Chains A and B, each alone.
Chain A
Amino acid sequence: MLLIHCPYCDETLPELEFTYGGEAHIARPENPADKTDDEWRDFLFIRTNVKGPHFERWRHAHGCGRFFNAVRDTVSDRFLTTYKAGEPRPDLAVLLEDAAKKEPSK
């Protein structure tokens, strides 16, 4: 079971309280009419599906009900951080360095 930190409630809680919301930081096109078919495909369907640190959305469905963002390693399922919606993408290099300091074996 994943333990997930909700940045709004400031508590670390079991996965069962949360629902996954897919990849984060995918901005809706500002002028949809100007987009080509290729751009629509990329927006709607193409995901990074990265093997490693993944920027993703979660929702604290059985808590505050709010969406937030997280960085999770998809190989170990370990969360590197969670942060509020609207905050900028954290620097991945710093996160990885911090994680290595905390648990050097991983």
Chain B
Amino acid sequence: MTHFSALSLLKNALTGQKNWQAQWPDSQPKAEYDVVIVGAGGHGLGAAYYLAKEHGITNVAVIDKGWLGGGNTGRNTTIIRSNYLYDESARLYDHAVDLWEGLSQDLNYNVMFSRRGVLMLAHNVHDVQSFQRHIHSNRLNGVDNRWLTPEEAKEFCPPLNISPNARYPVVGAALQMRAGTARHDAVAWGYARGASQRGVDIIQNCPVTAIRRGPDGAVEGVETAKGFIRAKKVAVSAAGHTSVVMETAGVRMPLESYPLQALVSEPVKPIFPCVVMSNTVHAYISQSDKGELVIGSGTDQYTSYSQRGGLPLIEHTVAAICEIFPIFNRMRMLRKWGGIVDVTPDRSPILGMTPVPGLYVNCGWGTGGFKATPGAAHTLAWTVAKGTPHDINAPFTLDRFRTGRLIDEAAAAAVAH
């Protein structure tokens, strides 16, 4: 497998770029694996990578019903941050940010992680109080986050309109400097390449139709479109389809699947230096390295698996962006799409063990799973390898919906995660 370096780029440039090789093979399933991971997105591929790299478990298959990285990994707005209110969430998301920082080197694959800063705008007294509470809580947890006046926010993000006459005046902002964006496809590709190098099979276009359990209740393997695959352990990382897959193992999940839409504008020259989120006006925006403005907001109101969503929500989102950034009101939008996100009642993920022996799950990330990709994958791999919860994912159990120990980020973190 090619090792990417300045030297390899130069060598290939001199030979007319004709000698690049495929970075991973498209595998066919074997009859049996130690671990089968359902879902070849960033989370699933990442778990396979860490299983192979850190736990020496290489007899692993990652199976996807479509193409690798074609679900929510390829459909999000690529925002990475860790300024969550509660201790449990702060640890989990900050663990992910720690991994993001070294990920390109670790994978020898440029995931284009850019610490450009995430600015969360406050428009009213409630926002100010809520964000300052977040900042204090974050600082107690060692998570970077600080308060800016409107003038400081404007200096950090020049396109911002801080006029007191604006429809939604900016009265302050919370800034996480360690936060930013990464290239979402590259995350899936980098993990796929790294996992494949270590012997993991990546099987695409192969829907998992059921999880088979033995007479003792433990997992035996998965039924797929390409036949039965035996496995000692199965980890489900299937985002919006998690409840459908888990149902086949007899586990009912506290999840509902909603379409979450995003859109991009035509590409323009660099104008937008950071990520800006406004929970009150309800939209977020950044500029990709290609030059497109990447815009998103909340989910549609109804559950659906259609990967489409309705146009009223797009209109609402774009209207919100034009309110905060009037300079963008003549930008043309190029494309919009939807992904199906699995939302838990407390808006925190479910990560780790299930009541079924040998069955593990990584789901419930709702509208904010991309940022957690390395952290979730890393701790899930630990749990699958050792059969016990990792220190960081231990609070995110499925059982919390029975015991009542919820991690209620919904009320605290407002709408956008």
Question: Which residues of A are at the interface with B, using a C-beta cutoff of 8 A?
Answer: 1-2, 15-16, 19-20, 37-38, 40-42, 44-47, 49, 51, 54, 56, 72, 74-77
Contact = CB atoms under 8 A, between A and B. Distances in A.
B302 A46 contact: no
Contacts of B305: 51, 74-75
B402 A38 contact: yes
B345 A45 contact: yes
B301 interface: yes
A51 B244 contact: yes
A47 B253 CA distance: 7
Interface of B: 241, 243-244, 252-257, 301-306, 308, 310-312, 345, 401-404
Contact of B254 (A16, A38, A41, A77): A41
5 contacts: A2-B302, A2-B310, A41-B401, A49-B303, A56-B303
Majority SS at the chain A contact face: mixed
A46 B252 contact: yes
A47 B255 contact: yes
A90 B403 CA distance: 35
Majority SS at the chain B contact face: loop
A106 to B, nearest CB: 13
Given A41-B401, A46-B254, A51-B241, A56 B306 contact: no
A74 B306 CA distance: 7
Contact of B311 (A1, A19, A45, A75): A1
Given A1-B311, A38-B402, A46-B253, A77 B306 contact: yes
A20 B301 contact: yes
B257 to A, nearest CB: 6
Contact of B301 (A19, A47, A51): A19
A49 B253 contact: yes
B402 A54 contact: no
Contact of B257 (A1, A49, A77): A49
The 3 closest A-B CB pairs, nearest first, are: A45-B254, A20-B301, A49-B243
A2 B255 CA distance: 23
B110 to A, nearest CB: 36
A86 to B, nearest CB: 22
A82 B257 CA distance: 21
Q: Which of A45, A75, A77 has the most CB of B within 10 A?
A: A45
